Amino acid sequence: MEGRKAGVQKRKRQFDTAMKYSLLFAALASILIVLMIGIFTFREALPAFRHIGIGKMLTEPVWRPGQEQFGILAMIAGSGLVTLGSVILGVPLALGCAIFLSEIAHPRIRALVKPCIELLAGIPSVVYGLFGMVVIVPMVRHIEVPGNTGFGLLSASIVLAVMILPTITSVSEHAIRSVPKEFREGSLAMGATRWETIQKVVLPTARSGIVSAVVLGLGRALGETIAMIMVIGNSVIVPAAANSNPLTIFLSRARTLTGNIAVEINYATGLHQNALFATGVILFVLIMIVNSSARYLMSRGGFKVQR
């Protein structure tokens, strides 16, 4: 009997060891894949960095491959402005959804609404792009500003705001629900209203988790490609205001870093192709900075209770 138990225990230990090394292999494989992608992209981009120069690429606004002009400042401006616009439009909506789901909604309503929001993350980008072209662009076109075609930063920002909504909502809701129940009860016992409790107790406690959610949404926005190509206009120009109102800059057409790669990589050769890979390296670095910022914020208590 004892020998049988020892045999069972030995098989369990062997199985645990096998699973441990299998999971370790999976983790190392993931790291290796990222490293290989980074090394390959940088190797292909190196001739462009040597011939053009990183500083010149980052500061020149003109992109004319036929004349060997490879400035990506216009694309950096386009990516930055469309990301900023999506955050301005999407974060308040996502945070409102997170507060509603975690603090206000009845469990039955929450069980219905939350899967619908999470379903948004599974919709293909091209579907968002089609929605933007058919619905958003004609609506934006009604804004009476000279040169407004509907295709531009505003349309792209609206589409992108919807696309980052599920990411920010899910992470923010998790952070808010992680706040201990005692915090809410103590605030209500001292005479605070429900909204005062949410505003002055719950949200400050979950602040770092909410910030982490926004940073993750930024990473999602920076990496979006297909939907942006379909609604942003794809003009390699530095966005500028159409009149004295600075907000009309969002009616300008633009091109993003990801869109530039996707549009031209099929026919690019030589230095042009190397410059596109260099654009990918710069985008890769930007996204790594954003993701590293998110990890840093999480390590500082993104999903932990601040006491």
Structure token pair of residue 268: 């690019």
> Using 50, 70 and 90 to split pLDDT, how confident is the model at 306?
very low
Query: 52-299 sits in which CATH class?
Result: mainly alpha
> Using 50, 70 and 90 to split pLDDT, how confident is the model at 286?
confident
> Using 50, 70 and 90 to split pLDDT, how confident is the model at 1?
low
> Using 50, 70 and 90 to split pLDDT, how confident is the model at 16?
confident
**186 has a pLDDT exceeding 50:** yes
Name 300's Cβ contacts closer than 8 Å, sequence gap at least 6. Answer: 208
Domain ranges within the chain, ordered by starting residue: 52-299
pLDDT at 2: 64
Please write the tens of the pLDDT for every residue from 17-63: 888 888 889 889 989 998 998 899 999 999 999 999 999 999 999 99
Give mean pLDDT, residues 294-299.
Answer: 69
Rounded alpha-carbon distances, angstroms, from residue 207 to 148, 199, 297, 305? 39, 11, 10, 10
3-class SS letters over the chain: CHHHHHHHHHHHHHHHHHHHHHHHHHHHHHHHHHHHHHHHHHHHHHHHHHHCCHHHHHHCCCEEHHHCEECCHHHHHHHHHHHHHHHHHHHHHHHHHHHHHHHHCCHHHHHHHHHHHHHHHHCCHHHHHHHHHHHHHHHHHCCCCCCCCCCCHHHHHHHHHHHHHHHHHHHHHHHHHCCCHHHHHHHHHCCCCHHHHHHHHHHHHCHHHHHHHHHHHHHHHHHCCHHHHHHCECCCCCCCCCCCCHHHHHHCCECCHHHHHHHHCCCCCHHHHHHHHHHHHHHHHHHHHHHHHHHHHHHCCCCCCCC
Highest mean pLDDT, choosing among 9-23, 75-89, 195-209:
75-89
For the chain, percent of residues with pLDDT exceeding 70 = 94
> Using 50, 70 and 90 to split pLDDT, how confident is the model at 77?
very high
> Using 50, 70 and 90 to split pLDDT, how confident is the model at 298?
low
The position carrying tokens 């091109």 is 255
